[in-house]
A and B are shown apart, each in its own frame.
Chain A
Amino acid sequence: MLMPKPLLWSKPSAVMRYAVAVISVILTLLLARMLEHYWQTTPFVSLFFCAIMFSAWFGGLRAGLLAIGLSVLVFDYYFLQPLHSFLPNLNELPRLILFAISGLIVGLLSAAQRSATESLREARDDLAAKVDELRRTNDALQEEITERNRAQQALHKVQADLAHMTRLTTMGELTASIAHEVNQPLTAVLNNANACLDLLMHGAPNLGEVREALTEIIDDADRASAVIMRVRQLAKGAPIEKSLLNLNDIVNDVLTLARYESAARQVAIRTELSEGLPLVLADQVQLQQVLLNLVVNGMDAMSAVEASRRLLIICGRRETRNSTSEALISVQDAGIGFKSEEVDRLFEAFYTTKPQGIGMGLAISRSIIEDHGGHLWAEQNQRSGATFSFSLPAAEIAKS
């Protein structure tokens, strides 16, 4: 953007300035002589003041002083008695002095005004440059912010994809368990349906028994479809949706999926859930993922341990930290545990101690819990194995 200039010439050269002073005095002299010759009028003083003002305004203090000097000489030589002499009459002397003083005042004022205007203009130019610079910086910053937002969005997307992938990997370890949870009710449905056919073939069928079998068929179909729904929820990459959740339900959901796997691996699972566990505001699928991951890790950690000692304890209780209420879930195994120097690396991406692991489970779990404003940490047990715990802030429930 162009700034309006307060002066016609931003900074005339020194020669130019002095030349303008000389030329304006000469022009004034010619004009005064013409006026005197044709109209017999003598407005010399004001004309010379104009020349001085113009010179001082255009060329600054020094050019002004030169114009004053020249004007005094020209005034003395051409317009004071005796004419055409630099020595004025004594009675004309006060006029000459007055002219010189007035010229000096006019010149000085004009020069001062010019210099004030000039510094004002400089300040203004400076300001304009600064504003320009600021605007450029701002534009660059704005661009950076946009870029950063884009990167952030891409990061979130990658994180979500990774969480989804890790979830699928964890679920992959439980396929047998999940199939079992569907096959159990399916087996019962087939058995009951065939039993019904047999019962109805008799002359006088026991309708009470048939009714009971049909009721069980419905219950088992419901049970199978509930498992399928749970699995589908976990498997699909749905966007995050926070709702009020009871962590006891999350524990039970996860154990339904892992129950058969734990039996197959001869791991006993005990739950110690407190009824006073506060509700949390969280994404159900993500919390299931975290807990599923901790449970599978715990079972993996105990695979090398004698079967009778494979015990996984899941505790849920209310905790108070810094006078705020939290829900705390811990998963304690009796496995091989970890070395104390490993504790920080456990949560690093791609860090794994499992031969078939990809080392994303705990890293993703921690980022999920931290996204929910909570903490996830690991501790060595006193006797054997490790305990992984996470806490989430209790949801604020509006009391009516």
Chain B
Amino acid sequence: MTNVEAIVFIVDDDLSVRRSTERLIRSAGLNVQTFLSAQEFLKNPRPKGPACLVLDVRMPGFSGIDLQRELMQLGINIPIIFITGHGSIPMTVRAMKAGAVEFLTKPFRSHALLDAVHSALERDRSAYKERSETEELREHFEQLTPRERQVLALVAAGLLNKQVAAELATTERTIKFHRAHIMQKMGAESLADLVRMAERLGVSSQG
């Protein structure tokens, strides 16, 4: 799961900067995909694995800052390394506050870029791990019957089997039976494990 290949996206309108940055990162042994505009980046489907984005701030039309905002609105949480001709302090602050990994001024040192790329990928790898775990959990959760989901919600809320049975107007035996099933389907090793999973999925008795 974690050994899925990472990829670095580059968005820059300048051909030689784009090509040379691609070559630099590729020669460091990473996968690279380049785009010459923010729109093109948004249009293309992106692979699911860990990734980061090397983004030119100033591009005609749709700027790097615009793209960062757009990605945030779309709920795409990809680490961004900004590169710019000359960064004003307010612009840098805004970009960093919005979660940029690094803000490099051209001409930047290649090591600075590679370091930033590595740390961005590192960050996204753990985020990716979490993302895929949550996704796995969600897949397991999808396999539960509606009744089992009800039971899970109540158990996660801290109710005893007896209380759950009373709540759902059934017997304690039935609840025990459901719980065993739920534990098995979700791959939980203990009750505590199950409660944590439920929390992560945001399952509550209201839901």
A selection of 24 A-B contacts at a CB cut-off of 8 Å is A180-B86, A183-B86, A183-B106, A184-B14, A184-B16, A184-B106, A187-B20, A187-B107, A188-B17, A188-B20, A189-B107, A190-B20, A190-B107, A190-B108, A191-B113, A192-B24, A194-B110, A195-B26, A195-B27, A198-B28, A209-B27, A216-B20, A220-B16, A263-B58
Is B181 at the interface (CB under 8 A from chain A)?
A: no
Task: Name the interface residues of A156-195: CB closer than 8 Å to any CB of B.
Answer: 176, 179-180, 183-195
Does any Cβ of B come within 8 Å of A223's Cβ? yes
For B113, the chain A residues whose CB sits under 8 A away are 191
Give the docked Cα–Cα distance between A199 and B14 (Å): 23
Contact of A191 among B23, B61, B63, B86 (CB under 8 A): B23
Chain B: CB-nearest residue to A217: B20
A262 cross-chain contacts in B, Cβ below 8 A: 60
The reply to whether A223 and B24 form a contact with Cβ atoms under 8 Å apart is no
Residues of B within 8 A of A (CB): 14, 16-17, 19-21, 23-24, 26-28, 58-61, 63, 83, 85-86, 106-111, 113
Q: How far is the CA of A318 from the CA of B108 in the complex (A)?
A: 45
Bound state CA distance, A264 and B64, in angstroms? Answer: 11
Check if A188 sits within 8 Å of B19, measured CB to CB: yes
Query: Is B58 in contact with A264, judged by CB distance below 8 angstroms?
Result: yes
A268 and B63 CA atoms in complex are apart in Å by: 13
> Of A184, A198, A263, which is within 8 A of B17 by CB?
A184
Chain A interface residues toward B at CB < 8 A: 176, 179-180, 183-195, 198-199, 209, 213, 216, 219-220, 223, 260, 262-264, 266, 268
Beyond A190-B110, A195-B24, A198-B27, 9 extra complex contacts between A and B, CB < 8 Å: A184-B14, A186-B106, A186-B107, A187-B107, A189-B20, A189-B107, A191-B21, A193-B110, A264-B58
Nearest A residue to B110, CB-CB: A194
**Secondary structure dominating the interface of A:** helix
B110 to A191, Cβ gap below 8 A? yes
Task: Report the Cα distance A266→B17, complex, angstroms.
Answer: 21
User: Which 3 pairs, one residue from A and one from B, show the smallest C-beta to C-beta distance?
Assistant: A191-B20, A194-B110, A180-B85
Quick check: B20 and A195 within 8 Å, CB to CB?
yes
Cβ of A195 to closest chain B Cβ, rounded Å = 4
User: Is A198 touching B24 in the complex (CB atoms < 8 A)?
Assistant: yes
Across the interface, do B60 and A263 meet the contact criterion of CB distance under 8 Å? Answer: yes
**Which residues in B have their C-beta under 8 angstroms from that of A183?**
85-86, 106-107
